[in-house]
Structure 1
Amino acid sequence: MKIDRIIQSCLNIHEIPLTTRIFTKDYIMVPEENGTITLKSNSGKTVGRGNNIGVAIGDFEMYNKSLIEGLGLQLIRNNLLEFCIDVEFDYKMIDHKNIAISFHNALTEFGCKRITNTFKTEKGVSRKNQALIGVKGYKNNNYGIKLYSKNEELVLKAYDTDIIRFELVVDNRAIDKMKLVKTVNEELVIDFVNEFFSVWKQTLKRKNRYTIPTFDLIQKLIETM
């Protein structure tokens, strides 16, 4: 399990108050009316030197602690955490519609709303014939769940194997419920993701030539997590 984008509320423990927004390639600091600082960062992109590769949770906690202390801040709470799992996969997502369709169905069964499908836009190809390259959904504005092809996101013209990313984004209320306010408890996050994967497998029902790639993907995501 890796982590990418984060938003945190912090105290400014410097004597000089921050009055203007500070923007750098590694973080954004925004002064709030109540005197706190909103800190936005993406450790996965920083470590990847611009490539959004994610960073292991243990490494993230060390990096984030160093960043906060170096900026003269003190963590109040996490407001948004984006977790991700990347797997290299023998099947291309665009060639196996069942992966995206079953993921969409799993989001519905899991209680997600505002589910959006992302299609590969091809000139001269009607929408009904365009390939699915990603699906995302949200539940009660507490968290978002997403699956997509990284290779298609990078607009690669040709590739033999796919890189597929699963993302879980949790906000304030979900963070409170999952007890991730100040520390990232990986076991609790994994339990939640496994619950969703269980629902996903149930929507597939049985293995056949259409569902085998999806079953294989779920298993590989679980092993990587």
Structure 2
Amino acid sequence: MLNTIPQDTCMHTLKFVDLVRDASENERRIPIVAMDAYKNTEATDFLLNKSFVKCSHQFIVVEIETEPRIYARVDFQGDLPFEDQPIAHSILLSFDRASITLGATSFARFSNGKPGGPTLDAFASLLEIMHRRTHRYDVFSRNCIWFTDSILYATGRRYADHWRADYIAPVGLGRYIDGSIGATRAAAEICTNGDPVGSFIVDTSSQVLKGMQWLFSLPAGESRIRYPDEEIGEILEEWNNKKDL
């Protein structure tokens, strides 16, 4: 299935999910051996230059255990529709990691080439869940950072023992995966490279912002803004109920 898709082709994540569901059982069992979270680091990036905590566009790259290796970049592109979908979740497949990460740097990663981690089928289920939970794009809440963090942290926690048996970086991500800290604190430590003062400032300000978003979005019901740990907990609950290969 993967080898029949033209390389460097960008498609909606729901189209990718359909392709995986239609693939053979062996193809659906292909392992995901690594996941990275990337952020744009080009000097010309608008958000990077304007934000106090050096925020910029973020995205996920997973390494799929094929021969040759295939890398999949997953983005939440913004508020404009993509293909025929109002929610712009996209996936780009390539044999060349460098070509799909130009101008960006990995800031978090876990990997393990042994059995026991996520499969292509499980990853497709997660993308499906993320699309269903994205009621709209919101620059201050449901954005590329929320999307990237949710995928990274949910995958980290669901396969915690698998990643701990091999490689997790940085320390803040490892502390989150083993349950020592929550998602907001982990994001703060990762963002500030573990600086205690910087982590405290970012964590505190994030908690205040999330609290305000949670309060004012309560009337929205199921589409309300959630605290990160609540969000990831709900994602994991839904994901764990899936019958993945």
Bigger helix fraction = 2
TM-score (norm 2): 0.28
* Greater C-alpha radius of gyration: 1
TM-score (norm 1): 0.30
